[in-house]
Structure 1
Amino acid sequence: MTATKKQLGTIPLSILDLAPVVVGATPGDALRNSLELAQHAEKWGYNRYWVAEHHNMPGIASSATSIVIGYIAGGTSSIRVGSGGIMLPNHSPLVIAEQFGTLESLYPGRIDLGLGRAPGSDRLTAMALRRDLSHGENFPEQVDELFDYFSESTPGKRVRAVPGEGLDVPVWLLGSSDFSARLAGQLGLPFAFASHFSPDYTLPALHAYHRSFVPSKYLDKPYTMVGVNAIAADTDERAAFLATTMQQQFLNIIRGGAPSLIQPPTDMDLLWTEQEKAAVHKQLRAGITGSPETFRNKLNQFIADTQADEVIINSAIYDHQERLRSYEIISQVAKG
């Protein structure tokens, strides 16, 4: 990768939202909070606002991702809105072309289509979604089919996406390993990496993308966006306390527990063993928390390490007002 000088203020920041459902609230509350956050994000200068497809998870309300994108785009006016991502093997490429063709028709020039190949859930739920788990193995072919539906109509084309065909909907590939990284490079597409839950593979995947990149009609040079768990507060201590909500999420995963609602911050020493603490910290080691000055230094280092062209931030914070404040601080830090 080219060692260009990248730092806060020189690259865009974006938001990844899972529409978190907290204890004592409903999915409707979560979705309304998402819209309010998107409206603030637009005002604060964030580049794009993506929502993610997950299923059978009581703490995530964005399972009907295309519908949520329409809701967010309809309540904002300029910020780009998209999927981080749509899990394409869960769907017919024709249906996704129609859905995003509809979104692009309603909100022209503002819609992104990020694609992933994982089910976004557990194996049993994946069976309910896909019926045949081999669908994920055909991901490259599904991407090609999707692009065919977005292309201009040709004589004899019998199945057409309306709306969809002929529309310029930017397509990204998402990944947490090097498979989609290589595919994105080969297709000349932008690539977004899930460093926020797969930190071990971040640099190898980014290198694989750059090595395999072939210029295309979509991009003449590589473009990467990297996800990061990030929480900012007025003090380091407050940020660390808020981060215990996310630590509880990962502790639950390590214990093999079922997905749950988002929990309030707490004293983690009452919950984990030393071994579990080490495992959670290892998984979250790429995360960034702290006061404005601490946050600035850590995020600049993250950008320097990854050489990302854009950073997309996930903040799992229990209290909605604290979550808004975190994103506001981050935007202020980015502006210097």
Structure 2
Amino acid sequence: MDLELRHMRYVLVLAEELHFTRAAARLGLAQSALSAQLGRLERHLEVQLFERSPRSVTLTPAGEELVARAGRLLADADDIERQLRTLSRQPTAPRGLRIVAETIHPEVVNALAQRHPGMAVTLRHDTAEDGMAALAANTADVCHGWDLPSVPLRMRSGIAQATLVDEPMWAVLPEDHPLAGEEQISLAQLRTAAWVSPGPGTRRARHLLSVCQAAGFTPDIRYVVDDQEMVRTLLANGCCVDLAPPRHLPEQGCRAVRLVEDVRARLFYAWRRDSVPGWLAREILEESRDAFVAGLVRRGPLYARLVEQEPARFGPLLDIDPAGWPAARIPVPALVSTA
């Protein structure tokens, strides 16, 4: 005969009960069948496992050794079975993932590609408006960008979305600007400044116009630039001022100054529900939030200080300790879908 897992279970149950009738009932066997199975096992092993008497059943030293080994063997077998069942239930990643992003975290793309080698991840840098249009046209699966309160994006049927963070937008000034040393200023104090803006009609240009007009003036836009590297160069060389999240500063030559006005931009993800399963959307959000916070460590001391001072303003970042970025993995809120 060959040793099988069922023989190990017979021995373990009898060792626990030390009573043939109760052990047989637990195993769903007749008492005579259990006794016969154990007898064959003992003959095969050429060793007695149990001392039997009309009143009691006790383990022999050989039986105690087998019980110890059988317990570990069955635990391993159960663990193998659980793991294999889990693997069989694991969702399969789609064969491709098409991302349109207004702001790019390369580490997120790398993490997705490494975790799902069979999933071809492609990335196109474009505006959030074009990204949402691509979702609607089924030429993209995921859109990542900013939604601006004064010119909100249209969320279409079949598209789900989640907010990464509501980012504050501050005045970005040349470091030698008269207001660069202030802790906080009003937009109205920049009414005579030269501004840089994307092209007329773009959402960011319309947003800048809207918030400045709400502050009582029309911005003097002298530089119309879409390329962010050129914007950074202009700012660093003292040519103009801008409106941007404080983490988007050039390495040198600028200061971000907090505004009295509550100007924000919602950094979000949107995805097609028919091509991006919920588990993958959550994974993308978690990776993106980790990358976002890691970026603050490198580039955003002003932002970190703001979160520390006013954590209630930063819902998705509430579980992060600004004194030690990051204190914990960033939680993912319930995904919000729009019909």
Structure with the bigger RCO (C-alpha within 8 Å, sep 6+) is 1
Bigger Rg over Cα: 2
* TM range, smaller chain: under 0.3
Give the TM-score normalised by structure 1: 0.23
Give the TM-score normalised by structure 2: 0.23
